[in-house]
Chains A and B, each alone.
With several copies, the nearest count.
Chain A
Amino acid sequence: MKIKVIVTLKNGVLDPQGKAIQQTLNGMGFESIKEVRQGKYFDIEVNENEETKAKSKVEDMCKKLLANLVIEDFKII
């Protein structure tokens, strides 16, 4: 079963990449772009049939490895 996870920077944490991308987009003529924040996305194939079990496993993984909770939040989608 496939579980998808999004990891984003916490509010207020500087996102230098997002900032550079936004400025580039503005420079390319996409002037209406006000902010870009970049995060990570994971497609995780778990050997598990029950969704709740799989998700709770992934949650555990997020806390232990995939997200750096000091500066990041995660969301299982």
Chain B
Amino acid sequence: MEVNEKIAVDHGLKKDEFKKICSLLKRIPNITELGIFSAMWNEHCSYKSSRKHLKNLHTKGKKVIQGPGENAGVIDIGDDDAIVFKIESHNHPSFIEPYQGAATGVGGIMRDVFTMGARPIANLNSIHFGSPQHKKTKNLLRGVVKGIGGYGNCIGVPTIAGQTSFDESYNGNILVNAMTLGLVNKKKIFYSKAAGVNKPVIYVGSKTGRDGIHGASMASAIFDDKIEEKKPTVQVGDPFTEKLLLEACLELMADNSIIAIQDMGAAGLTSSSVEMASKGKLGIELDLSKVPCREEKMTPYEIMLSESQERMLIVLENGKENSAKKIFDKWNLDFAVIGRTTNTKKIEINFNNKKVADLPLDLLSENAPMYDRKWKKNKLPQKIKFKKQNFKSLKLSDCLKKLLKHPNICDKQWIWEQYDHTVMGDTIQKPGGDAGVVRVHGTEKAIAASVDSSAQYSYAHPLSGGKQVVCESWRNLISVGAEPVAITNCLNFGNPEKEENMGEFVECVQGITEASKYLDYPVVSGNVSFYNETKDKGIKPTPSIGGVGLIKNYKKMINMNLKKQGNLILVIGKTEGHLDQSTFAREILSEKKGPPPEINLFNEKNNGLTVSKLIKDNLIESCHDVSLGGVLVAASKMCIKSNKGIKINNLKNLINKFEYFFSEDQGRYLIEIKKDNLSKVKKILMDNSVHFDDLGVVNDDKFLFSDEINLSIDDLSMVYKGWLKKYMVN
């Protein structure tokens, strides 16, 4: 087939990009080469719209072993242990086929982690659906949850936390972000940079089929009415093979025969071979006739672009082929030597003794386009003047119940009970708390992790939104007694070619950067997903932050379950009464405008570190950060989880009670302390200039506030736990 501009455009390349290719190459590429270019130059692989801004992220820190740029980030957790982690999106495939899309998303991120030599020890996910009333939502939710569980459960890695939200902006474009954490010996980390000439290039794992050809370019395409035609590109996950691949790779890694290893993710063999060779400043030669194929008559083009799952590419030391092959034979996986490294700085591809592609590597990676796209700044919206007399008709207990059953606040047990969260025998905090916690097997250490995002805040003001998610993530880790160490981010945005969407992206990244710098909470890995829009309507900007923290002694972990009647509850951090963009304002007052709560990084850090200190000093019995819904919702969740009540004190000369109870001011926590410790705790708080309020006292089984709230915990619990189950069963 003669390649021309039209074919290039059908491959997702822009006309001037095609011109650039031809002029760089000084010829017209053949179809296989065009396929390779289209894969490498699309947004998903080249980060052409985002690279400029991602450079500004804060990526350095004392504990960072590997920042962005590898398959996953790596942090040092002491002794010889390191944690490898990353989050990745699988949005478009999951919308087309929720089960397989979500399943292969989980499979893909796990491969990113074990490629580096780490055994996965925990999975997390952040999933976002359209309005519950939308006709597709229920099936998408069911399929995605089954897919995530289907894959993770089968591999035997616990899913320990996550986040689920609903918003109509996801009606035609759901988000599925999957995160994995792995444990590795810091001296045995594997990278994707090839080294040495004439080293064998090995293909292992499943056979190659025609699945997912052009998956990467699809991930960077806008959905339109023709989406149905794109359906056949969906890949099917095979978690069983992945489990074998995991064990086989770890077995091979125990011995010193791997020079470089890279999973075949988006753009399959193309991006893995190009990346390994270009990182090593080498060339690579492949013979595609040697690639194990599942289907007959596959063309070089198809082999290079297939996104069949559960495959890896390895550059091996010379002479290690046989011993490596034995391991893969034992695990019943394909193993083939398909090429070698060269010093040509080119990728040369042969098929049936004919050269079918010959491209300089720098054109594919370094010379890939990088755009400085136009972007629009977002003004901070005007603050809303809420009329207090409007509150008069509201009853506190009705408001509380309404918030507790709100889809974005209510209990997500229906979801996480379908995930195996206890396999591997080290889960000490399961989903449903502020962060999931797993022990580092056989040690006193534990790792806490959470994923957070806030599309509402980010949409209202991207800069604040970016800061807020980082802070919320940090808070969730502090709340379980962990020291927050680093984050991974998945940036889900609309169309970067539109100034508004690009502006949202740029400013969210700025916000993330500011907060992570201030909190010394660096970004070590991440992923960008653009073009999340359907029929011209973009999603709300949704940066998901996956935070990872260290607990030096797992016995010091705490949770949000109230411990004892008579203990006191304090609110840490000042409640200013910021209602704009709160769930209360949006859902009960139907006021969707206004700025998100302000982020005061000084207070955030000071409050967090002080809570941390109190936890270290064994002065806190339970702790929960205040997030969506405000103080009353947070207090209710503590009650529901522990089946105990709280009697809230009468508020003396405070701000308006609706503002106090439902505002979503940041940097706040609820802590439970023993009466005897009150003076010690107060002293530490005052010494550190941390604002606090006495909220109330733990009681047996009632949620009480003066004569306005008198609810049994069973009532609260039914409201909180009822919505999702009912929604899914009906």
* A/B: CB atoms within 8 Å of each other: yes
Which A residues contact B (CB, under 8 angstroms)? 10, 12-16, 20, 23, 68-71
Main DSSP-derived SS at the B contact region = loop
Asked if B236 and A13 sit within 8 Å, CB to CB, the answer is yes
Main DSSP-derived SS at the A contact region = loop
Asked if B240 and A68 sit within 8 Å, CB to CB, the answer is no
- Number of contacts between A and B (CB, 8 Å)? 37
Q: Tell me if B365 counts as interface (CB < 8 A to partner A).
A: no
Number of interface residues of B (CB under 8 A): 20
List the B side residues contacting A70 at CB < 8 Å: 96-97, 100, 231-232, 234
Q: Tell me if B241 counts as interface (CB < 8 A to partner A).
A: yes
List the A side residues contacting B240 at CB < 8 Å: 16, 20
A71 to chain B, nearest CB (A): 6
Which B residues contact A (CB, under 8 angstroms)? 96-97, 100, 206, 209-211, 231-232, 234-236, 238, 240-241, 294-295, 308-309, 332
16 further A-B pairs in the complex, CB-CB below 8 A; given A14-B235, A14-B308, A16-B238: A10-B232, A12-B209, A12-B210, A13-B236, A14-B211, A14-B236, A14-B294, A14-B309, A15-B236, A16-B236, A20-B240, A69-B231, A70-B231, A70-B232, A70-B234, A71-B236
A12 to B211, CA, bound (A): 7
Asked if A23 and B332 sit within 8 Å, CB to CB, the answer is yes
List the A residue with the shortest CB-CB distance to B100: A71
A12 to B209, CA, bound (A): 7
Asked if B211 and A68 sit within 8 Å, CB to CB, the answer is no
A15 to B241, CA, bound (A): 12
Asked if A16 and B241 sit within 8 Å, CB to CB, the answer is yes
List the A side residues contacting B232 at CB < 8 Å: 10, 12, 70
A13 to B213, CA, bound (A): 12
List the A side residues contacting B332 at CB < 8 Å: 23
List the B residue with the shortest CB-CB distance to A11: B295
List the B side residues contacting A68 at CB < 8 Å: 97
Asked if A13 and B211 sit within 8 Å, CB to CB, the answer is yes
| 11 A–B contacts, CB within 8 A, in A order | A10-B232, A12-B209, A12-B211, A14-B206, A14-B235, A14-B238, A14-B294, A14-B308, A70-B97, A71-B97, A71-B100
List the A side residues contacting B236 at CB < 8 Å: 13-16, 71
List the A side residues contacting B211 at CB < 8 Å: 12-14
List the A residue with the shortest CB-CB distance to B234: A70
List the B residue with the shortest CB-CB distance to A68: B97
List the A side residues contacting B309 at CB < 8 Å: 14
List the B residue with the shortest CB-CB distance to A12: B210
List the B side residues contacting A15 at CB < 8 Å: 236
A24 to B100, CA, bound (A): 21
B718 to chain A, nearest CB (A): 24
A32 to B332, CA, bound (A): 19
Asked if B97 and A12 sit within 8 Å, CB to CB, the answer is no
- Of residues B206, B209, B238, which shows the largest number of chain A Cβ atoms within 10 Å of its Cβ? B238
A20 to B332, CA, bound (A): 10
